[in-house]
Amino acid sequence: MDLLNHDLAHEFPEHLEKMRTLKATDTHFAKLFDAYDDNNRAIQKYELGGAVISDDALELMKKQRLSTKDDIYQRLLLD
């Protein structure tokens, strides 16, 4: 199965420096960033067959990842 890479460096390559800065200086952003990474790694594990999860539960995780990504993007657009 050919899965897309959803890590934030691939999602927002034009904002790499700003993400580094915000992660180091903004605790809320750092928590969002870490939550996104944790959720993304879990989704990848399930998609690659490393664990079993229902389709509904996986879909819910993907929706949460998207919501967190939207929050991160909104923060990147500020300033």
pLDDT at 50 (0 to 100) = 82
Backbone angles phi, psi at 31, to 5 degrees: -65, -40
pLDDT at 79 (0 to 100) = 62
Q: What is the DSSP string of 3-40?
A: PPP-SHHHH-GGGHHHHHHHHHH-HHHHHHHHHHHHHH
Query: How large a percentage of the chain has pLDDT more than 70?
Result: 95
Per-residue pLDDT tens digits for 17-41: 999 999 999 999 999 999 999 999 9
Q: Which residues contact 3 (CB under 8 A, 6 or more apart)?
A: 44, 47, 48
pLDDT at 57 (0 to 100) = 96
- Is residue 66 predicted with pLDDT exceeding 50? yes
| Domain ranges for the chain | 13-77
Q: What is the mean pLDDT of residues 1-17?
A: 85
